[in-house]
Amino acid sequence: MSGGGARYERFEKEPLEPEQFLLDVRKEKIDRVVSQRTRNFTVVLDRLEDSFNMAAVLRTCESFGVQEVHVVINPEAPFLPNSRVAQGCDKWLDVKQYKSFADCREHLKSRGFSLYASAIREGATSLYSLRFDTKMALVFGNERYGVSEEVLANVDGTFWVPMRGFSQSLNISAAASACISRAIAWRDEHLGGSGDLSAEEAQALRERFYVLAIKQRKRLFKQRP
């Protein structure tokens, strides 16, 4: 005859706190990363088609502290970053996808962003002349065709990356890397740092990262990554 049962074992388990599963050195690393995150500078990818480029841009954004990436879907190429290139970096990011550039623009404009598209054309501003002290989104286009005419007609301006060699164009992931590096360096130099999250935003992101840093999070918290 077995004993026990629900009626004899009525107790509530204490809720699990993610912090208890992390070493102090790991929590310090997460806190440092959160303190350097920006939501005031972001990147828009317009209809990319190469999975390696998708992943490379995400990895660059994450490594430089750019928290958000906005993606205008290519109807002929789903946004599926190559996992070997991304190496899981996308779990730390907010990747927002849109069916059209109009939807993406509306979202960013509602939050006060200026949008500048990468395009070599008359009147384009040098990357090195751009300021990054306000909310700024840089738009990068398709590997073969560049940004769409819709993008060019609806951004606040265009910019180009000055080059000094015989090559006068860059792969999308290389161009994005150069621009992101420039933007973050500019913010560090002129603003004293690139991190700009509010206390509430930082706390929410910190709590999320604590969970994501736990390998057994799915089993422990019944939470998808």
Q: Which of 185, 192, 181 is nearest to 35 (CA)?
A: 192
Distance CA 43, CA 96 (A): 11
Question: Nearest 5°: CA angle at 22, between 223 and 194?
Answer: 85
Backbone angles phi, psi at 27, to 5 degrees: -65, -40
- With beta carbons less than 8 A apart as the criterion, state whether 101 and 150 touch: yes
Is residue 118 annotated as involved in ligand binding? Answer: yes
Is residue 93 annotated as involved in ligand binding? Answer: no
Distance CA 170, CA 119 (A): 11
What are the structure tokens assigned to 185, written together? 């360096």
Q: How do strand 114-118 and strand 136-140 relate by DSSP bridges? A: parallel
> Counting beta carbons within 10 angstroms of the beta carbon of residue 25, is it exposed (0 to 12), middle (13 to 18) or buried (19 or more)?
exposed
What are the structure tokens assigned to 137, written together? 């989104």
Is residue 170 annotated as involved in ligand binding? Answer: yes
| Residue 93 CB neighbour total at 10 angstroms | 16
Distance set, CA 19 to CA 15, 31, 220 (Å): 12, 12, 13
Residue list, annotated binding site: 118, 161, 170
Residue list, annotated binding site for S-adenosyl-L-methionine: 118, 161, 170
